[in-house]
Amino acid sequence: MKISQKLEYACRALAQLAKTYDGKTLTRLEELAQREAVSANFLVQILNDLRRAGIIDSRRGAHGGYLLSRPADHITLRQIVDAVEPSQLQNTALSDGESGPAVRRAWETVSSKLATDLDTITLGSMANPPSDPMFYI
């Protein structure tokens, strides 16, 4: 599966915001860009998409910045995909020819399962993955 750079950067920026989420602390654009080694010009476009989708809030001014609009465990990967790459889950298979309808149904099944899986992954789980168990010898 090919993930766009835009979607990857959105997830990385949101993971940074999730790590500091307390409902009031703002993170500046420059800080997000630096932490994730992303162009600030590109990142601001992505953050605007996330803001329009209601995933983040922003404040203007000298003390402005970005923060999640709700706890990270209440934001799903599907919501992020829908905000920045809505075409990712669209099925574009045609129903032409004798085999077209069957092929289209197969891709619709895959798309539906992917959407369901994306609904089960939260930003919280991406920002704070469980650590691997430590084995002592």
- What is the widest separation between alpha-carbon atoms in the chain? 62
Domain of 73, CATH number, reads 1.10.10.10
Tell me the whole-structure pTM to 2 decimals: 0.85
- At position 107, the amino acid (one-letter code) is W
Instruction: List, in sequence order, every residue forming a beta bridge with 58; answer none if it has no partner.
Output: 66
Q: Specify the amino acid at residue 62.
A: A
Residue 115 lies in a domain: yes
Domain count, the chain: 1
The answer as to whether 71 is a domain residue is yes
DSSP string, 22-37: SSS--B-HHHHHHHHT
pLDDT in tens, the chain (137 residues): 788 999 999 999 999 999 989 988 999 999 999 999 999 999 999 999 999 999 999 999 888 999 999 999 999 999 999 999 988 777 777 778 888 888 888 888 988 899 999 999 999 999 887 665 556 66
Considering the domain boundaries, does residue 59 fall inside one?
Answer: yes
What token pair was written down for 27? Answer: 């993170």
Task: Answer whether residue 133 is part of any domain.
Answer: no
| In contact, 71 and 118? CB cutoff 8 Å | no
Is 57 within a domain?
yes
- Inside any domain, residue 136: no
Residue 82 lies in domain: 5-127
